[in-house]
A and B are shown apart, each in its own frame.
Chain A
Amino acid sequence: MRGFRYIALAGLLATGIYSLPAQQAPVKLPGTVRPKPHPTPSSPLAASMARGQRVYKNVCLTCHQADGGGVPNMNPPLIKTDYVLGDKKRLVGIVLRGLKGPNEIEGETYTQNMPAQAYLTDLNIADVLTYVRNSFGNKASAVTPAEVHALRDAPAAGQ
């Protein structure tokens, strides 16, 4: 992880731009951040949000859509639902192990299975869930890599 950060920073200094095409990179800087005197966001939360936005775009956006609203009848919305704002353990578990449909949320049924995303790093998952819990009108506490790590090898919760 440290090694990658070093490479990313070096690339950033060398080019002055933020375009990072790699798909599997565990840490990425956002393409949407305005140029600032300091290349890294000021607070740890902002930094996590910015990394999480990149993960969201690469992994989640196709199904859950740019606005987090999901797809009617198929993929659930991430906006103001208990799944996102409630128990963090359940939420982390869904990312690690997927979620079998159909699921009923706010009276609507969503049928598609969510695939497991266990190939993401603890930091990737913490960042993207922090991003989702604080985007699209959501506001909830951050998720830490340690919280993800603790659940990675845990038996599947009763979902």
Chain B
Amino acid sequence: MNSFSLRLPLGAAAIAGSLLLYASRPTAPRLAPDPDNAGLKLPAGFGALKVAETGGKARHLVVMPNGLIYVKLNSAKDGKGIVVLKPGADGRATVAGGFGSYGGTGIATQGGYLYASSDVAVYRYKLDGQDQVTNQSQPELVVHGLKKENEHESKSIALDPTGNLYVNVGAYSNACQEKDRERGSKGMPNCPILDSAGGIWQFKTDRLGQREQDGTRYATGLRNVVGLDWNKQDNKLFVMQHGRDQLHDNWPALYGDKESALLPAECLYELSAGANAGWPYVYYDQQKKQLMQGPEYGGDGKTPAKGNYLKPAAAYPGHMAPNGLLFYTGSMFPAKYRNGAFIAFHGSWNRAPEPQAGYFVVFQPFKDGQPSGQWEVFADNFAGSAAKAASGRADHRPCGLAQGPDGSLYVSDDSKGTIYRIMYNAK
């Protein structure tokens, strides 16, 4: 889509030159990355530019077929919780207003609607032929009354191709202890939080005014999910769980602080209706490659999980906070990236006193709808330096991921509000 606006102004005199330049990829516009690739470290052949500064805590985002970008802010800025970015010819974009007075995380689009979430509700806006929201102040209320307490309150959303909406309702607890995060406090039997949180709820996109209890608890035993995406190859919902914190703080006799910095894994799950990933009773140890019994429920760091719970499809080191998940379906990037997963790791806090980690975008290869092969860091140095990452005082923190119409990968930063665009530039 961008190619038209770029190519039309090209005069006849430039055609000879551009034919030479673009000979191998005649349809791909060549956008110049920032000289420093927006401060990011990328694999060879990739470049990046800063699309825009939103000035807010930019959580998730979508890029429309015409290049228009909608960004969901964690809290409304100047009364606007969704920022509209209008694309320019240079690959960047300018802030062109906003709407929605509520803060939140989730945003998604399908079937002529834009869906966005607050921490208690999901709204939708009708889009016109230019992907513009016409009724900015009068969205339809799709879901309301979602459970919200003081932890894991963000409600990320995903859509499937058959009219279902998936909403994360995070557990308002670390490990369902009788006293949340208190040293030595036992887990509550038959964790009561799971009735209304700690899972993914499924709703109908075309039914308005649904309450949480009108939806289906699609999957349970998930402590908190921020990054989730529908995989069209596998026809399944995949989610990234934020694993539990503070194994050492709360159980110092059972876990050292080095162990506690790495454990438990941050897990990618492939969900089917009725799945149970086992929070708070179990956690996944990526070193033992085993589900383990949680210390709040009789575990000691060595006892395998009791009970039959969903195993992760892939696992990553602890506490890196996966906030964005995107299956890449574009053709701009080399073939190995097609249908694989990008994961935005927001960066840790719960590794202290060990160095913090994350603040990067990972690529997880997939084959036939399943993880296949070792993950790798794809885009690094959002933090600004290794020292800033280690201390947790990162300049930027990747959160949301989106694919542009040309196959560019967009990344939002919820620390300073920068929007990045990563492109493949090699021939």
Contacts and interface: CB of A to CB of B under 8 A. Distances in A.
Given A61-B353, A71-B349, A74-B349, A113 B150 contact: yes
Nearest to A119: B183
Contacts of B249: 59, 62
B388 to A, nearest CB: 12
The main secondary structure of chain A at its interface with chain B is: loop
Q: Which size bracket describes the interface of A in this complex?
A: 20 to 34
Contacts of A111: 150-151, 153
Interface bin, chain B: 20 to 34
Contacts of B415: 72
Interface string B38-69: 00000000000000000001000000000000
A67 interface: yes
Interface string A120-140: 000000000000000000000
B246 A62 contact: yes
Interface string A32-65: 0000000000000000000000000111011101
B186 interface: no
A102 B150 contact: yes
B180 interface: yes
Return the 6 tightest CB-CB contacts between A and B, nearest first.
Answer: A71-B349, A115-B182, A101-B150, A115-B181, A23-B252, A111-B150
24 contacts: A59-B249, A61-B353, A62-B246, A62-B350, A62-B352, A63-B349, A66-B353, A67-B391, A67-B393, A69-B393, A71-B349, A75-B349, A101-B150, A109-B75, A111-B150, A111-B151, A111-B153, A112-B150, A112-B151, A112-B181, A113-B151, A113-B181, A115-B179, A115-B180
Interface of A: 23, 57-59, 61-63, 65-67, 69, 71-75, 98, 100-102, 109, 111-113, 115-117, 119
Interface of B: 57, 74-75, 150-151, 153, 179-184, 245-246, 248-249, 252-253, 349-350, 352-353, 391-393, 415
